[in-house]
Amino acid sequence: MALERAAFLTQMVEVLTSTVSFGERLNNMVHLLARNLKVDLALYFGLDKARETLLLNVSSQGPVPPHLRLEFPLGQGLVGETARTRKVGVVHRQQPGVAAANAGLEKLHPAYQTLAAFPVADDNFLYGVLILVDRTERSLPASERQSVQLTCLMLAAALRQAIVQEEAKKRIAELSVLFEVGKALSSTVELDELLERIVSTTAKVITARGAALHIIDGATGEPRVSSRYGQIPPECQTLPQITPSPGSTEPPYYEGQSTDAAGHGHYCLAVPLTFKGQLTGTLGVYDKFSPNGEYLPFDPENRQLLFTMAGVIVNAIENALTYQQVEDLAEKNERMVRNLTALQEISQVMLTSVQEARLQEIILQGLTQEHGLGFDRAVVLMVDEAAQILKGAKGACRGPVTHDIPNLKALQVPPPEMIPVTDWEIPLRADQGPLALAVLRKSAYHHHQTVKEPGLPLALKGKYAAQEFFVVPLVVKDRGTGVILVDNQASGRPLEPERLHALQMFATQAALVLENAHLYFTIETNNRELLLIRERMLESDRLAALSSLASGMAHEIRNPLVSIGGFARRIAKLVEPNSPLRGYVEVIQEEVTRLEKLLREILDFTGENLSYYGDHELAKLIEDTLILVQRDLDANKIKVAREFAQMPRLHCDDRQMKQVFYNLFQNAIQAMPRGGTLSIRTFPVERSDGLYAAASISDTGSGIPMEVLHNIFNPFFSTKDYGTGLGLAIAQRIVSRHYGQIEVNNEIGKGVTFIVTLPVAKYCLVKDVGQGAVPASVLRAPKGGSQ
C-alpha cells in the first residue's frame, strides 16, 4: 500500500514538474488522480481574478464544452464552501440539501453519489478546489485523503509558480513595450510629430484598429491639441469626460461598446491624461482585433497597459509642450527684436525728410519691404477736416526682395509698384466701415470673414478687396489724422495679433512725423507769405514815394500842358495848310497828346480809383478786350487762337480787369510786328487754399532778353523807344488788388506767355467799394495776395 502511494506521488511529481505547458500538466494531473483513486470524475475549479467565483477549468473526461462550464460563487455548494473554509469536505447525495446545493454537477455526472472536495491552497492564497465525483457511496480512507492533499499542495505550488512566471512574462512584455514606447516618444520633441507617434504606437501595442488623443484647456474648455490614428468608428467619435467614481479607489477609465448599422460590434477603451496645471486629456483605443481580424473587447491587461502608457505619454507631452513654449517664446522674442529693429531703421529714415509726400513713400516702404514689417499691400489715407472725409494719399504693393541693398538704403528708394488711391474718398461716419471707425474711435481693427462688423464701404467697391486686413489710426494729440490699411492678400499669410501690435507702434511714429511735416509745411508757407508781404510792403513804400512824386509832378505839368495844347490847337486852325509854320504846330500837338497820355497813365498808376466789383465770366472779359485791340491785330496780321474752359465766375472790377488784358494784348501785339499768333487759353487751377481761374496769353515773338526779364514789372521800365513802361506795372497792381498773381514764361526766340491767376468768386475776399460788403459765398482767402 505504501509502495502504491509512493508510486502515485512520484507520478504526480513527474507530471507537475514536466516541461509541457501548465495547462497540459493540469489536465494530466486530473486524469492521473481519477485513474489512481478509481473515481468516475475529477474536476478542477479555479478562483477568478475577482476572487468571488470558482469556474470549472479542467475535467478528467476531457475538454469542457461551453454549455457545461460550471461556476460556483464563494460559499455556495460544496465547491464554494470548501473554498471559503479551506477544509476538505466529503458529502453524499442522500444527505439533506446536497443535491440541491450541487445541482450543477448533475450536468456532468447525473448519477453521482459521493462528492469529495479538496482546497488547492498554500499558506497565503487559495487557487481553486479539486472535486472527486463517484457513482458509489464511498468514504475516502485517510491515506487517500493524505495523497490527495499532498497532490493539492504540489498543485498549489505549481499554480503559484505558473502565476509568478506569467506575471513575470507580463511585466517583461510590459517593460519591453514601455521601453519601445519611451524610445519612440523620446526621439522627438516636436509636438505634432510626438502626438502622431503616440497614437500610432498606442494602437500597435494594444493591437487596436485606431487610437485618438485629445487635450483640452481645463480653464476654458477649449481644445488645445489632438491627434488620431487608424480607423475610429463613427459611433465612438466622442468620448464622455472621465471622472473618478464616488467611493472608488481604482483609477477612472471609460469602456464602451456600440453597434453600427450593419450590426457589427465596436469597442472603446479610454483613460484620462492628467497633466500639471490646467490641461486635461484623454487617450482612447478602438476595436481590438484578433489575428483572424475579429473585433474583441478590451481586457483588464489592456486597460492596465494603457494606464501605464498614459503615465509615460503625459511626461513626454509635458516635455514637448514645454519645449514648444520655449520655442514659441524664443520665436516671439526674435520677432519682437526684428520688429523693433525695423521700426528703429524706419524711424531713422523718416527723419531724413520733412516733405509729406516723401514721408508717405518711406512709410509705405517700411510697411511692405521684407526687412520692414513685410505686408503685401499698404495704403495711407489722410483726413480732410474741411470736407470731413478720409482721402487716399498713397498706396504701394510689396516689391522684390533686395538682398544686395542695405536696409536703410532700400527704405529710401520709392516703392516699385504704387496703388492708385487718390480717388478714394470715405465719409467720416460710423456707418462707413472700419476705416472711418478707426479714425472716429481712434482704435485699430483686425477685419476678417468671421468678424460680424461692417466691411469696406461701397466707395471702395471694385477698388480694393481683401479677405483679411488691419486698419490702424494715425493719432496726434488725441486727434485722428488718418489711417494705415495693410493686408497679405497676395501671399495669403495670416495676420497675427503680434503684427497688429507692431503696426500700432509704427503708426504712432508715422503719425508724429507726418504731423511734423504738416507743421513744417505750414511754417514754411507762412514764412514765404511773410517774406512776400515784406517785399510787397517795401515795394508799396517805394511805389508810394514814387507815386507821390509822380502825382505831384503830373499835377504841376497838367495845367501848363493844357494851356499849351489849347493854344496849339487854336494856332493850327489859324495857320494855312501850306504855311511853313504848319509842321511846327503839328509837332507841338503830337507831343502834347503824347504827354497827356503819359499823364493819364501816371495818374492811373498812382491814383486810388474807386472799384466796382461784381461776378463776371473770365472769357467774356477777354472777348470784350479783344474787340478794343482788333484793329491793331488786323493791322499787324496777327491771328487769335482761343481755348476757353468752363469755369466759375470771378468777383472783380471788370473795367480794371479789361485794362489788365488790354495791356497784355498790347505787349503781345508789339512783340509781333511782322504777324504771328496770339494764343489765349483759360483753365482752372486747384490749390491747397482754394480754386483759381487762370488765363494764359502767349505770343510768337522773339521773347524778352534774360538780362532785363526781372525788371519788366518795374514802373517806367521799357525796352521800347516809345511808351511809358507802366503797362505791366499797372496790370500787376490791379491783379494784386484782386488777390491774384501774374507769372511769365519766357522762351528766347519762341515767344512769351503771361499767366494771370485769379481766385473764383467763391473764394474771393475783395471788398466792393461801391457796396462796402463781402460776397456771401466767402469760405476762405487764398494765400499769396495783398490788398
Q: How far apart are CA 585 and CA 597, in angstroms?
A: 19
Of 131, 124, 133, 132, which Cα lies nearest the Cα of 159? 124
Q: How far apart are CA 182 and CA 176, in angstroms?
A: 10
Contact 269, 298 (CB under 8 A): yes
pLDDT attached to residue 784:
35
Q: Check pLDDT > 60 for residue 123.
A: yes
What fold does the segment set 188-234+253-325 form as a domain?
Beta-Lactamase (3.30.450)
Kindly report the backbone phi and psi dihedral angles of residue 399, in degrees, each rounded to the nearest multiple of 5, phi listed first: -95, 180
- Which CATH architecture group holds 609-787? 2-Layer Sandwich (3.30)
Q: How far apart are CA 359 and CA 688, in angstroms?
A: 19
Contact 282, 276 (CB under 8 A): no
Domains 353-523 and 609-787 share a fold: no
What fold does the segment set 353-523 form as a domain?
Beta-Lactamase (3.30.450)
Q: How far apart are CA 522 and CA 530, in angstroms?
A: 12
Greatest C-alpha distance within the chain = 201
Reported as a pLDDT band with limits 50, 70 and 90, residue 786 is: very low
Whole-angstrom CA distances from 257 to 205, 206, 262, 488 are 20, 17, 15, 49
Of 271, 130, 107, which Cα lies nearest the Cα of 198? 271
Ranges of H-type helices in 17-132? 22-37, 77-85, 98-101
Angle at 173 between CA 170 and CA 175, to 5 degrees: 105
pLDDT, tens only, 50-106: 888 999 888 888 887 777 778 899 989 988 999 999 999 999 988 998 888 888 888
Q: How far apart are CA 382 and CA 391, in angstroms?
A: 5
What does the pLDDT average to over 756-768? 66
Contact 298, 265 (CB under 8 A): no
Of 260, 256, 251, 265, which Cα lies nearest the Cα of 238? 256
**DSSP secondary structure letters along 109-172:** -TT--EEEEEEEE-SS-EEEEEEEEESS-----HHHHHHHHHHHHHHHHHHHHHHHHHHHHHHH
List residues bridging with 72 in a β-sheet: 54
Whole-angstrom CA distances from 762 to 657, 736, 759, 774 are 18, 18, 8, 11
Q: Check pLDDT > 50 for residue 785.
A: no
Of 9, 23, 12, 16, which Cα lies nearest the Cα of 59? 23
pLDDT attached to residue 453:
60
pLDDT, tens only, 128-184: 999 999 999 888 888 888 888 888 888 888 888 888 887 777 777 667 766 777 776
Q: What sign does the CA torsion over 364, 369, 372, 378 have?
A: positive
| Type of residue found at 218 | G
Helix H or strand E encompassing 271: strand 265-274
Helix H or strand E encompassing 566: helix 497-574
What does the pLDDT average to over 468-491? 89
pTM of the model: 0.46
Kindly report the backbone phi and psi dihedral angles of residue 396, in degrees, each rounded to the nearest multiple of 5, phi listed first: -150, 155
pLDDT, tens only, 443-459: 888 887 665 666 677 77
* Bridge pairing between strands 469-476 and 613-616: unpaired
Better-predicted residue by pLDDT, 149 or 777: 149
Q: How far apart are CA 147 and CA 42, in angstroms?
A: 14
pLDDT, tens only, 655-688: 888 888 988 898 889 888 888 999 999 999 887 7
Cell of 473: 489710426
Of 94, 81, 96, which Cα lies nearest the Cα of 131? 81
What does the pLDDT average to over 623-631? 89
pLDDT attached to residue 559:
72
Q: How far apart are CA 603 and CA 588, in angstroms?
A: 22
CA dihedral 407, 413, 418, 420 (to 10 degrees): 120
Residues in the chain: 787
**DSSP secondary structure letters along 647-713:** -PPEEEEHHHHHHHHHHHHHHHHHH-TT-EEEEEEEEEEEETTEEEEEEEEE--S----GGGGGGTT
Helix H or strand E encompassing 315: helix 300-350
Own/partner contacts of 640-643, CB < 8 Å, gap of 24 or more, are: 640/677, 640/678, 640/680, 641/677, 641/678, 641/679, 641/680, 642/680, 642/681, 643/679, 643/680, 643/681, 643/682
Of 70, 64, 63, 11, which Cα lies nearest the Cα of 35? 11
What does the pLDDT average to over 32-48? 88
Question: What are the residue boundaries of the structural domains of the chain, listed by start?
Answer: 2-168, 188-234+253-325, 353-523, 609-787
Cell of 685: 487751377
Cell of 494: 495670416
pLDDT, tens only, 287-336: 888 877 788 888 888 888 888 888 888 888 888 888 888 888 888 777 77
Whole-angstrom CA distances from 98 to 109, 115, 141, 603, 736 are 14, 9, 21, 156, 138
pLDDT attached to residue 641:
92
Q: How far apart are CA 783 and CA 396, in angstroms?
A: 33
Other C-beta atoms lying within 10 Å of the C-beta of residue 284? 25
Q: How far apart are CA 775 and CA 762, in angstroms?
A: 8
pLDDT attached to residue 783:
36
Reported as a pLDDT band with limits 50, 70 and 90, residue 695 is: very high
- The average confidence (pLDDT) of the chain is 80
Q: How far apart are CA 472 and CA 439, in angstroms?
A: 8
Q: Check pLDDT > 50 for residue 498.
A: yes
Contact 89, 117 (CB under 8 A): yes
% of residues, the chain, pLDDT over 70: 85
CA 162 to chain centre: 67
CATH number for 2-168 (one of 3.40.50.2020, 3.90.198.10, 3.30.450.40, 3.90.550.10): it is 3.30.450.40
